Amino acid sequence: MQTLEEIRAYFRNDRFASSAGCEIDEVGEKTAKCSLVLTDLHRNALGGVMGGAIFTLADLAFAVASNWQNPGTVAISSQIAYLSAPKGGVLTAEAHCVKDGRSTCFYRIPVRDELGTAVAELSVTGFHLGK
């Protein structure tokens, strides 16, 4: 079984998420928790958090949860609902597998800030390559 540090090292190759500041906090059986400390880099022209920053964090959580044990799953469909502007300065995305089939899987990834504000929810259908 891989250590958390080995998993983090592997996913540093997810360069966009890494350069945006996304971090892997925890992994479990088809689950992952990732976080992002918000900075000016993540702000839009109105001063709010860019939807793309929120999506990137949730997408990384999906990637980690669906790949850290068995690499080879890619997203084929994603839908995000933006629920509220973050009130705090740290976002957390927790990916949970709802269904893992022979060739596809489905994950839900709620995104919250450290104050408990429900910021967004991403739902992802993934495809297992080579299964």
Domains within the chain, CATH numbers bracketed: 4-128 (3.10.129.10)
Comparing CA positions, the residue from 32, 82, 35, 36 lying closest to residue 62 is 32
pTM confidence score: 0.96
Q: Show pLDDT as tens, one digit a residue, over the chain (131 residues).
A: 799 999 999 999 999 999 999 999 999 999 999 999 999 999 999 999 999 999 999 999 999 999 999 899 999 999 999 999 999 999 999 999 999 999 999 999 999 999 999 999 999 999 999 75
Contact, 94 vs 109, CB < 8 A?
yes
